[in-house]
Amino acid sequence: MLPRLCLLIALVTTCRLCLDGAVKWAITSGGEAALGAKVEIANLDTALLRGELTIRDFAAANPSAPMRNLIAASEANLMIDVGELCRGRLLVTGGAVRGIEFDGQRTESGALPATDDSPDAPGPSVFDPLVAAAEEKGAAWLDDVTGRLETDLESQLQTPRVAQELQDRWPQEYDAMRAAIDDIQTRGKQIETEFKEAKKNPLRNAAKFQTLAGDVTTLEQRVQALQARLAALPQQADADRQAIDAARKHDQEFVRQTLQFKDLDGDQLSRYLLGEETYGYVSTTLAWVQRARELVPSKKPHAKPPKGRGVEVKFVDTPRPTVLVKRMELFGNARLRGQPLELAGLLTDAASQPQFHSEPMRLELAGAGALACTLQVTCDRRTDEATDTLQFDCPELPLRGRTLGKAEKLAVTVAPGAASLTAHLQLVGDEIVGTIEYAQPSTQLTASAAAVRDARLTDALNKSLASLQRVQATVAVTGNVQRPDVKLTSNLGPDLAAGFNQAFRAYLTEKTDRLVAKAQAKVDEQVARLDAKRQAAQQELLGKLGEHQQLLAQLGSLTGGQLPAGVQLPGGVVLPANVAESAAGVQNKAAAAAAAKLGELQGKFKR
């Protein structure tokens, strides 16, 4: 009897000593298989008779960041139903996990030894193309505006060029007329001299008189030509004026077209400013959701090959999960920016085969202290399609100051402040639908447009932002959870775009007016200078014509009464009855016509 009793005692002692290690091994190996990272337990005590399991210093490493813990807890007390344990089920009826810490630092890597089926390095996010497109569109708009602003418009205006051409052409015109008048004068003096010589012996120089008469006729023709030329000047001036008007109209249209820009689209600007940040949050959230879904047992258990001999027949009316955590209180402490953050929560109905349990798994977490927030997660596997919901509310989320957009292009700096964040996501199968709402009711925005190197424009932008003190954004997520469609709407983009458009438009209008006025002033100056030159030339031409008139008068006086009237010169040329009178008449006629035309021309230029 005694050996048998000893054997029994030894057996019980062995079981008792090995039980803790076996349970510890089961938890860590199962956890590592499910998580893909190290799961460590410093100490584990079991009290089967009382149905208690105590775990101390539990840590599960983050598979994505091996030097950080996904979750750690200082102590977990679990109340186990021993009766159900004898029936092959682990039923945790109650308990508490204390000292929960998320994302804590590890002293050694939590990565498991590399295996062939280790996950590949994460590829690019599905939101990368959206972020790139938003940034590209926003940057393209700004580049377009910048390019238009930095174009050397002044050098491309036509009005100054036309005015310059006139300024260059008119002096040539006057020089040509002046040269013609000088030539007439020179020729008149020659005729005078020759006439004086011929007058000494009229009879012998009859032929000379005939030649001189021809020269006078030629001179008269040249005077007439000059007269015609002077007569054409008003028409030329009129054409030049029309050319200046056409150039001015062209310049106005050119400047208007060049500085015209398409209004910035508000939604596009929202995506440009908030896209990277928002898509990053959504991508991270979805990655966590997917990760959590992988940890939650799927509805269809993996078909295990039968072990051993025979078939195990289960005599149960309704299948029940092998492991069920009925109720578990969660407590944790953390520090957020130096402030204590207390976490308290409740986990209910977490089952290893959730499809066999009548209630969905629920997790409720509430934060107090540095961050007041609530998180409610429901995982329902009772139906054919897995249904998960996530509700997160944080009315006062403290935010640091941050810069939205690209600092080297167009950026908006948001001052530090508190924001409310609400997220509601529902996943049915692989389809996701939900909204994430963000609102920062009171803040200060500062714009910087580094690409536009004009302080006045930046000032105008900031003036337009002065009235914008609220930032609100809503992200609607729909579609497949692997490649969801994300629609971002925010007041920031439209309000900012309206301010930007107004500021840019005012700035460009002012710049256009300034440019056109500058060109007009330059043209006016050139026209005035041209007018002054024309007046000087007119006086000069009139003076020379007056000298010429005197010359022809002298020529007339020299020839007056000394040439036989109506004499027939050799060659059939008949001298006019009174050469002097004829010459004076021609001269007077030419001078009067020239003065009239020049006066008309002056009047047109003045107009």
Evaluated on CA atoms 182, 184, 190, 193, the torsion sign reads negative
- Check binding of 304 to another protein (CB under 8 A): no
Cβ(106)–Cβ(80) below 8 Å:
no
Is there binding between residue 311 and another protein (CB under 8 A)?
Answer: yes
Nearer to another protein, 314 or 483 (CB): 314
Q: Which stretch binds another protein (CB under 8 A): 283-291, 307-315, 326-334, 394-402?
A: 307-315
Nearer to another protein, 7 or 47 (CB): 7
**Least distance between another protein and beta carbon 85 (Å):** 9
Q: Which of 300, 302, 309, 606 touches another protein (CB under 8 A)?
A: 309
Q: How far is C-alpha 348 from the geometric centre of its chain's CA atoms?
A: 49
Residue 49 binds to another protein (criterion: CB under 8 A) = no
Q: Minimum distance from CB of 5 to another protein (Å)?
A: 11
* CA torsion, ordered 17, 20, 23, 24, to nearest 10 deg: -130
Return d(Cα 597, Cα 587) in angstroms, integer: 15
Q: How many residues does the chain have?
A: 607
Binding to another protein by CB under 8 A, coded x per residue (else -) over 69-88, reads --------------x--xxx
Shortest distance (Å) from residue 79 CB to another protein? 18
Q: What is the dihedral of CA 296, 301, 305, 309, to 10 degrees?
A: 100
Nearest approach, Cβ of residue 380 and another protein (Å): 27
CB-nearer residue toward another protein: 81 or 600: 81
Q: How far is the CB of 93 from another protein (least distance, A)?
A: 16
Backbone angles phi, psi at 210, to 5 degrees: -65, -40
User: Of the ranges 29-37, 150-158, 309-317, 436-444, which one interacts with another protein (CB under 8 A)?
Assistant: 309-317
Distance in angstroms (rounded) separating the CA atoms of residues 389 and 391 = 7
* Spatial separation of the C-alpha atoms in residues 39 and 72, rounded to whole Å: 10
Alpha carbon 84 to its chain centroid, in Å, reads 64
Binding part of the chain for another protein, among 176-184, 302-310, 395-403, 414-422 by CB under 8 A, reads 302-310
Answer yes or no whether residue 2 interacts with another protein by CB under 8 A: no
The stretch near another protein (CB under 8 A) out of 48-56, 178-186, 305-313, 356-364 is: 305-313
Compare residues 91 and 377 and give the one whose CB is closer to another protein. 91
- Give the one residue of 2, 117, 262, 315 binding another protein; rule: CB under 8 A: 315
User: Which C-beta is closer to another protein: that of 120 or that of 312?
Assistant: 312
Q: Which of 316, 358, 467, 483 binds another protein (CB under 8 A)?
A: 316
Cα–Cα distance for residue pair 499/212, rounded to 1 Å: 84
CA gap 58, 109 in Å, rounded: 15
Give the Å distances, CA to CA, from 167 to 240, 364, 408, 530, 532: 11, 86, 46, 6, 11
User: Are the C-beta atoms of residues 294 and 138 closer than 8 Å to each other?
Assistant: no
Q: Which among 69-77, 136-144, 303-311, 476-484 is the span making contact with another protein, rule CB under 8 A?
A: 303-311
Stretch that binds another protein, among 174-182, 202-210, 314-322, 518-526 (CB under 8 A): 314-322
Side chain identity at residue 199, one-letter code: K
User: Rounded CA gap, 101 and 107, in Å?
Assistant: 15
Query: Does residue 410 sit in helix, strand or coil?
Result: strand
Which of 116, 120, 152, 312 is the binder for another protein (CB under 8 A)?
Answer: 312
Query: Which range, of 57-65, 312-320, 390-398, 422-430, touches another protein by CB under 8 A?
Result: 312-320
Residues sharing a CB contact under 8 Å with residue 396, sequence separation 6 or more, in sequence order? 371, 372, 418, 419, 420
Mapping DSSP to helix (H, G, I), strand (E, B) and coil, where does residue 541 land?
helix
User: What is the DSSP code (8-state) at residue 358?
Assistant: S
Q: 351 forms bridges with which residues in the sheet?
A: 324
Nearest approach, Cβ of residue 315 and another protein (Å)? 4
Q: How far is CA 135 from the centre of its chain?
A: 7
**CA–CA dist 479, 327 (Å, integer):** 34
Q: Does 200 engage in binding with another protein (CB under 8 A)?
A: no
Residue 607 touches another protein, criterion: CB under 8 A? no
Task: Please list every residue from 83 through 122 that binds another protein, using CB under 8 A.
Answer: 83, 86-88
Among the listed residues 374, 458, 461, 378, the one whose alpha carbon sits nearest the alpha carbon of residue 420: 374
Q: State yes or no: residue 455 binds another protein (CB under 8 A).
A: no
Closer residue to another protein, CB minimum distance, 50 or 249: 50
Size of site (CB under 8 A) for another protein: 14
Which residue, 121 or 316, has its beta carbon nearer to another protein?
Answer: 316
User: Which element (helix H / strand E) includes 388?
Assistant: strand 387-399
Q: Which stretch binds another protein (CB under 8 A): 190-198, 216-224, 304-312, 588-596?
A: 304-312
Nearest distance from C-beta of residue 320 to another protein, angstroms: 10
Dist. CA 47–CA 556, nearest whole Å: 149
Select from 57-65, 117-125, 313-321, 358-366 the region that touches another protein (CB under 8 A): 313-321
Nearer to another protein, 311 or 455 (CB): 311
Under DSSP, is residue 500 helix (H, G, I), strand (E, B) or coil?
Answer: helix
Q: Which parts of this chain interact with another protein (CB under 8 A)? A: 4, 83, 86-88, 308-316
